[in-house]
Structure 1
Amino acid sequence: MSILIDKNTRLIVQGITGRDGSFHASKMKAYGTKVVGGTSPGKAGENVDGIPVFNTVKDAVKETGANTSVIFVPAPFAKDAMMEAADADIKLIVCITEGVPTLDVVTALRFIKEKGACLIGPNCPGLISPDKSLVGIMPTMIFRQGGTGVISRSGTLTYEVVYNLTANGMGQSSAVGVGGDPVVGLYYQELLQMFENDPETDSIALIGEIGGDAEERAAAYIKEHITKPVAVFIAGQSAPPGKQMGHAGAIISSGAGTAAGKIAAFEDAGVPVAKEPSEIPALLKRKR
């Protein structure tokens, strides 16, 4: 099985006529994702690589039965795009756009939850269930279908960990990039629960980074609720306090959010922490 997306996912691409939207719409379609439509106001009736374009998400849902949306619109319009998707009864919204103002995300996320939908991102690479569906910008050639679930705040480190998993004969059930902004949608705890409940996921790789307390909360959740093997890598172990490292959420403030604190929390929960991403496969095999 997989979580969140599979062969039944029916995807629309918001911003499909833009440079990034059109490029990745074709990539997702080529992978086998059912890309049933896209939106671009004022361009209804056109198509991108054979994918029909609609003016609004509601029009797209009505005509195609779409249940998932991926957003490639510029940051100033991302809030409206996320809320439009939720209002059209899209149940999974994936926002790739980076640079979305935090208060915009707060507003959109509240509306999305009220509508009973889920958000991945913003500022994320999306997600993939290998050989089933791709929603986002992940490089498909490194993924193989298998039993390891992957959750990550970092896009690039996701690819490094997945490459090492695949090279060691460990395929993936699903891989989810949650995004590195201070406020995002689904996070560690929700995704850990999904992987725990997925009968075909037999282990979990979690990739965290400095800043915030999400990893500490994930460690506590794993200790109480997760029965499957988990291995972790924390990025930014040498980052000095007060310096942002890559993501808007990756900053140590007032002594909180340090790599040392996160590593200690996972070790207290009995979860091994890799010194390098390449160690993840061996740690998971050892825990099985």
Structure 2
Amino acid sequence: MAIFVDENTKVIVQGLTGSQGKFHGLRNRDYGTKVVAGVTPGKGGFDVEGIPVFDTVEEAVVATGATASFVAVPPRFASAAVLEAAAAGITFIVCITEFIPARDEAMFYNIIKRDFGGTRVLGPNCPGIISPGRCNIGITSGDIAMPGGPVGIVSRSGTLTYQALYELSQKGVGQTTCVGIGGDPVPGTNFIDCLAAFEADPETKAILMIGEIGGSEEEKAAEFIRDNMTKPVVSYIAGVTAPPGRKMGHAGAIISGSQGSAKAKMEALRDAGVTVAQNPTEAGELMVDLIHSM
């Protein structure tokens, strides 16, 4: 099985006629994802290499039965795009857009939580999600993913997501689903959401969790793992040498005072029974050893 998306998921691309939307939307389609429509206001009636384009998400949903959306629009339009998708009945929204103001992220996150309880947002500022061999929504290259499981991956870092996929695949260990939750301060989907889904997925036997400095999501995840997880978790936390008070890459990757440090997160995870790696390559090696020992 897979979590959140599979081979039956029908996807629309908001921003398909733009350069990024077209590039990644067509890559997703060519991977085998059911990309059934694009949405760009004013471009309804056109098509992009056989994919029909609609003026609104509602029109696209009515015509195609899509349940997922890939938001690839500029920051100033992203919040409206996400809310339009939710209002049209889309239940899974992947937003890759970066540089969305935190205020806008908090606004659409809380509106969706209040008004559209059946809708999940992944991102923003994330690489997306891939269930290898089944569905790919976002910017992850399908070439580095290996179908069949048994490892589920959840990561705040896009680059380390790709490294984890590649290193596991090179060693013959497949993945059920890989979820890039993004590193912004207000993620629509967090570690706990993914850990709970992996715990419930019978094909996922172990989870690789990649965190980074900033915030307290990893500590919350550690508590959840301790109290709720029966499957083994291997983790790596990026940013061991990061200085306090300096943003490191992601908007949420900043140590404030004594909070959010890699050391604190690693200690919390170890205390919860997680196997914690010192670097990304070791994380992959530890996971491979774990799978081979099962």
TM-score above 0.5: yes
**1:85-144 Cα distance to aligned partner (Å, 9 max, x none):** 000000001101000111111111122222120000000000000000000000111100
- For 1:112 and 1:172, locate their aligned partners in 2 and report how far apart those are by CA, in whole Å: 30
**Pairs within 5 Å for 1:135-174:** 135-145=137-147, 146-174=149-177
**1:6-40 Cα distance to aligned partner (Å, 9 max, x none):** 01100000011000001111101100000000100
- For 1:93 and 1:220, locate their aligned partners in 2 and report how far apart those are by CA, in whole Å: 27
Runs of at least 5 residues in structure 1 that lack an aligned partner in the other structure: none
- For 2:102 and 2:49, locate their aligned partners in 1 and report how far apart those are by CA, in whole Å: 34
**What's 2:19 paired with?**
19
**What's 1:186 paired with?**
189
The alignment covers a number of residue pairs equal to 288
Structure 1 residue identity aligned to 2:194:
L
Percent identity of equivalent pairs: 51
Structure 1 residue identity aligned to 2:30:
A
Whether the aligned pair in 2 keeps the contact of 1:148 and 1:203 (CA below 8 Å) is yes
- For 1:253 and 1:280, locate their aligned partners in 2 and report how far apart those are by CA, in whole Å: 26
- For 1:35 and 1:155, locate their aligned partners in 2 and report how far apart those are by CA, in whole Å: 22
**What's 1:94 paired with?**
94
Structure 2 residue identity aligned to 1:187:
N
Runs of at least 5 residues in structure 2 that lack an aligned partner in the other structure: none
Instruction: Tell me whether 1:278 sits opposite 2:281 in the alignment.
Output: yes
Compute the RMSD of aligned alpha carbons: 0.9
- For 2:207 and 2:17, locate their aligned partners in 1 and report how far apart those are by CA, in whole Å: 36
- For 2:180 and 2:138, locate their aligned partners in 1 and report how far apart those are by CA, in whole Å: 9
- For 1:36 and 1:207, locate their aligned partners in 2 and report how far apart those are by CA, in whole Å: 32
**What's 1:131 paired with?**
133
- Secondary structure of the residue aligned to 1:127 is strand
- For 2:285 and 2:98, locate their aligned partners in 1 and report how far apart those are by CA, in whole Å: 33
Deviation at 1:189, TM superposition (A): 0.5
Structure 1 residue identity aligned to 2:252:
G
Deviation at 1:283, TM superposition (A): 2.1
- Secondary structure of the residue aligned to 1:200 is coil
**1:145-164 Cα distance to aligned partner (Å, 9 max, x none):** 12100000000001111111
- Secondary structure of the residue aligned to 1:161 is helix
**What's 1:228 paired with?**
231
Deviation at 1:229, TM superposition (A): 1.1
**1:225-269 Cα distance to aligned partner (Å, 9 max, x none):** 111111001001100111111000000001100011001001111
Deviation at 1:68, TM superposition (A): 0.1
